[in-house]
């Protein structure tokens, strides 16, 4: 069961909640997704999780999965406004009040300003202190401002707490805006279905419609459930699922998927899957869960924050205590002030808040292009792609075979050869079997086909109308010791033997995908060092395809286990195994072992395929190998923004840390180093969406001219 963590606005708090929950038996693998504020819990452990969260963060509560709402549109809190007004008065008239009998007003005005915005911070700090959680931003702000009050720097104390509160307010707005922008990319969830019953229709929730029931999709409506078109013809917009802007024509008998938008026709649809198993539900679930798989950078920053803050606090203590003891003329107040500056600077919020948002934005932006990335770790790995290995059939080629030649031998006729092959392949789902049955183009009496057996990587053995038929590749003929004189036929060839006598062969042609050449060229343009191809097909066919696409190398006539062996050899040959990654692209079903073995397994054409989505780390939702180029571009753009945020945060904090140590920077600059940099980092994180919008606009404009 998935729940929303209401009130979760702190990335450190999310990490702390996750660590504590993972200590509970049964929750060892639980993940808190700060970007979506979601958590998935077993129903039996909800109570203990709720109690643990309440103990750690009383402001955070668990609610059954729901929309977070438009949190960023909240008005400025009244205490913040009053505090700002009091601070302004105290700051302007500070000197006048300080030198008069009414100096107590200075304390009244500035400490009131301090208390209005600081009280929640102080209470959280004290509560965490009691529990042993010392080094968090609440403690640091409380300690820094208490020190400022102790040395009579009241404007600084009130100002730091006020600007910290203002920064937290704007940070929350920025984070929520980023969340809304990302979720808007995934705003493909249908709100209702037009349920048809007894000649009338009524609106119901999509999850109320059962498999086998009928719905009506009106012009302009979003398709609510996966199904099959029962009546009507229309063009549908699939861009929300696949990123493809060209409408797709649907007719009776065609599959239709939830999330598509109907054009001008009226469609009657028979539902084939319940809502929770529909394409749109699976996509939304995968994208939201993707944030739970943290990238190495994200894990490093979380660990870094746990050690960074205590080290800075220790440095601040040393700066406050040691110089007054060792340097002649040094005053304790002066060095304590410098130490307080360092405490304010030390909060690592800019990193721990912005980095999860960058990754989630990259994953959301990829989904807009019909690319499902199952986790930030895979997005990171994709950016380091060194070698890309493609399966041939169904990936670089269409996998739609056509019979182009039938040659008979030993007294058989071409009709007999085709009939024997088509009947023998009647139960096979292989594309070659489909092409044989399509060429035969007649009903096949399946009751006359017995002892059907698929021989992996070889072909079919079956008894057809009382006669034993073998249909498969050259290896099958050799395996069964069938004498045949046509070993050197070029192309994809099905050899046929009847009653162990060679009957002839059938040549089948496959076509390249339109964007296969562009995919290879695009990968090389991105700096991918090697583009390779694996296939179980004939060597001559593979050589022809490899030459057309200009891949760097290929291996043919491979059994499924041979593909895994080849892949492991390629991976072992990578110059820098830790930094360079190997990507394998296949159909997600036949290539599942290879997809699983690769650093990044990519299933192409996975829309509607459960096996493809389960097997792969990255799923391209349509049959377009060039989408892998887009996926790598998005991954590299995301990684670039991650590096920018890390460099920005560390550079600014280091600069002000040095300035504060030498007494040049004041607490005002320290506030900018903390709150200001966090805001800049969060705003930079939102740029993950610009890549998607820019490309989507370009694609839409380009399609208008065709």
For residue range 359-381, list pLDDT tens digits in order: 878 887 887 788 888 888 888 89
Concerning whether 391 is annotated as a catalytic residue, the answer is yes
Instruction: Please indicate, yes or no, whether residues 612 and 601 belong to a single structural domain of this protein.
Output: yes
Neighbour tally for 339: CB within 10 Å? 23
pLDDT in tens, 142-181: 888 888 888 878 888 888 888 878 877 776 776 666 566 5
What CATH code is carried by the domain that includes residue 202? 2.70.150.10
Among 29, 46, 68, residue at a domain's last position: 68
Total number of domains in the chain:
5
Instruction: Please indicate, yes or no, whether residues 600 and 556 belong to a single structural domain of this protein.
Output: yes
Neighbour tally for 270: CB within 10 Å? 17
Among 486, 509, 532, residue at a domain's last position: 509
Instruction: Please indicate, yes or no, whether residues 455 and 581 belong to a single structural domain of this protein.
Output: no
Instruction: Please indicate, yes or no, whether residues 617 and 644 belong to a single structural domain of this protein.
Output: no
What CATH code is carried by the domain that includes residue 416? 3.40.1110.10
Neighbour tally for 121: CB within 10 Å? 20
Instruction: Please indicate, yes or no, whether residues 389 and 336 belong to a single structural domain of this protein.
Output: no
More confident residue, 683 or 306: 683
Instruction: Please indicate, yes or no, whether residues 491 and 409 belong to a single structural domain of this protein.
Output: yes
Residue 552, in any domain of the structure = yes
What confidence score (pLDDT) does residue 188 get? 66
Cα three-residue angle 127-129-130, rounded to 5 degrees: 70
Residue 376, in any domain of the structure = yes
Residue 703, in any domain of the structure = no
Instruction: Please indicate, yes or no, whether residues 205 and 345 belong to a single structural domain of this protein.
Output: no
pLDDT in tens, 233-284: 999 988 777 766 678 899 999 999 888 889 889 999 999 999 888 877 777 7
Cα three-residue angle 630-554-485, rounded to 5 degrees: 135
Instruction: Please indicate, yes or no, whether residues 296 and 174 belong to a single structural domain of this protein.
Output: yes
Are the C-beta atoms of 425 and 460 separated by less than 8 Å?
A: yes
Instruction: Please indicate, yes or no, whether residues 435 and 504 belong to a single structural domain of this protein.
Output: yes
pLDDT in tens, 571-621: 998 988 888 999 999 875 567 788 888 999 998 876 655 666 677 889 888
Are the C-beta atoms of 558 and 536 separated by less than 8 Å?
A: yes
**Does pLDDT of 696 surpass 50?**
no
Residue 626, in any domain of the structure = no
Token pair of 340 as six digits: 């307080």
Q: 344 lies in which domain range?
A: 78-183+289-358+640-691
- The C-alpha atoms of residue 83 and residue 89 are separated, in whole angstroms, by 10
| Mean per-residue pLDDT, 628-639 | 93
| Mean per-residue pLDDT, 421-449 | 90
Are the C-beta atoms of 274 and 211 separated by less than 8 Å?
A: yes
Nearest-CA neighbor of 533 among 689, 699, 388? 388
What confidence score (pLDDT) does residue 371 get? 87
Residue 558, in any domain of the structure = yes
Token pair of 89 as six digits: 């008065």
Are the C-beta atoms of 703 and 245 separated by less than 8 Å?
A: yes
Residue 278, in any domain of the structure = no
Residue 631, in any domain of the structure = no
Are the C-beta atoms of 460 and 428 separated by less than 8 Å?
A: yes
Instruction: Please indicate, yes or no, whether residues 375 and 494 belong to a single structural domain of this protein.
Output: no
Among 461, 479, 509, residue at a domain's last position: 509
Instruction: Please indicate, yes or no, whether residues 387 and 525 belong to a single structural domain of this protein.
Output: yes
| Mean per-residue pLDDT, 695-704 | 40
What CATH code is carried by the domain that includes residue 585? 3.40.50.1000
What confidence score (pLDDT) does residue 703 get? 36
Please report how the helices 539-549 and 516-525 are oriented relative to each other, as an axis angle in degrees rounded to 10.
60
Cα three-residue angle 453-456-460, rounded to 5 degrees: 40
| Most confident of the following: 507-516, 609-618, 677-686 | 507-516
Identify the active-site residue in 9, 391, 591, 599: 391
Instruction: Please indicate, yes or no, whether residues 524 and 561 belong to a single structural domain of this protein.
Output: yes
Residue 168, in any domain of the structure = yes
The residues near 547 (Cβ < 8 Å, ≥ 6 apart) are none
Radius of gyration of the chain (CA): 33
Q: What is the pTM of this model?
A: 0.70
pLDDT in tens, 222-239: 999 999 999 999 999 887
Name the band, by pLDDT with cuts 50, 70 and 90, for residue 76.
low
What CATH code is carried by the domain that includes residue 37? 3.30.70.100
Please spell the DSSP secondary structure of 306-349, one letter per residue: HHHHHHHHHHHHHHHHHHHHHSTT--HHHHHHHHHHHHHHT--H
């Amino acid at each position: 069961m998935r729940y929303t963590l209401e009130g979760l606005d702190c990335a450190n708090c999310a990490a702390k909640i996750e660590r504590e929950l993972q200590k509970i038996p049964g929750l060892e693998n639980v993940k808190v997704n700060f970007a979506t504020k979601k958590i998935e819990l077993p129903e039996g452990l909800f109570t203990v999780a709720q109690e643990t969260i309440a103990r750690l963060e009383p402001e955070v509560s668990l609610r059954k999965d729901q929309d977070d709402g438009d949190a960023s549109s909240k008005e400025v809190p009244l205490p913040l406004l009053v505090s700002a007004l009091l601070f302004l008065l105290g700051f302007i008239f500070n000197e006048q009040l300080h030198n008069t009998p009414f100096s107590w007003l200075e304390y009244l005005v500035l400490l009131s300003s301090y208390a209005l915005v600081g009280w929640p911070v102080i209470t959280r700090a004290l509560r965490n202190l009691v529990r042993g959680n010392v080094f968090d931003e609440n403690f640091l702000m409380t300690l820094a401002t208490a020190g400022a009050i102790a040395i009579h720097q009241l404007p600084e104390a009130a100002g730091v707490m006020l600007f910290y509160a203002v920064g937290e307010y704007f940070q929350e707005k920025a984070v929520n805006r980023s969340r809304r922008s990302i979720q808007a990319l995934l705003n493909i969830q249908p709100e209702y279905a037009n349920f048809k019953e007894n000649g009338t229709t009524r609106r119901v929730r999509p999850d109320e419609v059962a498999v086998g029931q009928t719905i009506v999709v009106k012009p302009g409506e979003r398709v609510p459930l996966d199904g099959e078109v029962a009546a009507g013809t229309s063009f549908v917009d699939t861009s929300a699922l696949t990123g493809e802007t060209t409408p797709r024509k649907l007719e009776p008998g065609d599959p239709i998927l939830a999330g598509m938008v109907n054009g001008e026709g009226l469609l009657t649809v028979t539902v084939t899957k319940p809502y929770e198993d529909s394409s749109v539900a699976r996509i939304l679930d995968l994208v939201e869960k993707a944030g739970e798989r943290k990238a190495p950078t994200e894990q490093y920053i979380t660990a870094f924050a746990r050690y960074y803050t205590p080290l800075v606090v220790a440095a601040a203590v040393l700066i406050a205590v040691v110089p007054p003891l060792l340097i002649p003329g040094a005053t304790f107040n002066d060095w304590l002030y410098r130490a307080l500056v360092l405490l304010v600077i030390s909060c690592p919020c800019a990193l721990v808040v912005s980095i999860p948002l960058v990754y989630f934005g990259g994953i959301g932006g990829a989904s807009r292009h019909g690319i499902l990335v199952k986790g930030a770790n895979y997005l990171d790995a994709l950016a380091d792609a060194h070698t890309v290995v493609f399966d041939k059939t169904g990936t670089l080629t269409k996998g739609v075979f056509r019979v182009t030649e039938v040659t008979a031998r030993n007294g058989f006729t071409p009709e007999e050869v085709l009939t024997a092959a088509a009947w023998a392949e009647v139960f096979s789902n292989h594309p070659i079997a489909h092409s044989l049955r399509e060429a035969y183009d007649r009903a096949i009496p399946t009751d006359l086909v017995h002892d059907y057996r698929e021989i992996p990587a070889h072909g079919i053995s079956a008894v057809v109308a009382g006669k034993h038929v073998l249909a498969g590749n050259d290896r099958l003929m050799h395996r069964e010791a069938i004498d045949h004189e046509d070993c050197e036929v070029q192309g994809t060839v099905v050899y046929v033997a009847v009653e162990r006598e060679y009957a002839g062969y059938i040549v089948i042609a496959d076509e390249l995908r339109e964007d296969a050449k562009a995919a290879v060229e695009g990968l090389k343009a991105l700096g991918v060092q090697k583009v390779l191809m694996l296939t179980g097909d004939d060597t001559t066919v593979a050589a022809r395809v490899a030459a057309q696409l200009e891949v760097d190398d290929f291996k043919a006539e491979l059994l499924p286990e041979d593909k895994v062996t080849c892949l492991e050899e390629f991976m072992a040959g990578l110059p820098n195994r830790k930094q360079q990654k190997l990507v394998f692209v296949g159909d997600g079903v036949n290539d599942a072992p290879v997809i699983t073995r690769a650093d990044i397994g990519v299933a192409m054409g996975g829309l509607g395929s459960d096996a493809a989505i389960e097997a792969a780390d990255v799923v391209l939702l349509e049959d377009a190998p060039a989408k892998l180029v887009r996926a790598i571009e998005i991954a590299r753009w995301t990684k670039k923004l991650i590096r920018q945020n890390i460099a920005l945060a560390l550079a600014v904090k280091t600069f002000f840390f040095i300035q504060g140590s030498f007494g040049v920077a004041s607490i005002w600059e320290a506030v900018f180093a903390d709150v200001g940099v966090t805001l800049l980092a969060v705003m930079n994180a939102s740029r993950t969406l610009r890549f998607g919008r820019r490309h989507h606009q370009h694609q839409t404009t380009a399609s208008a001219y065709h």
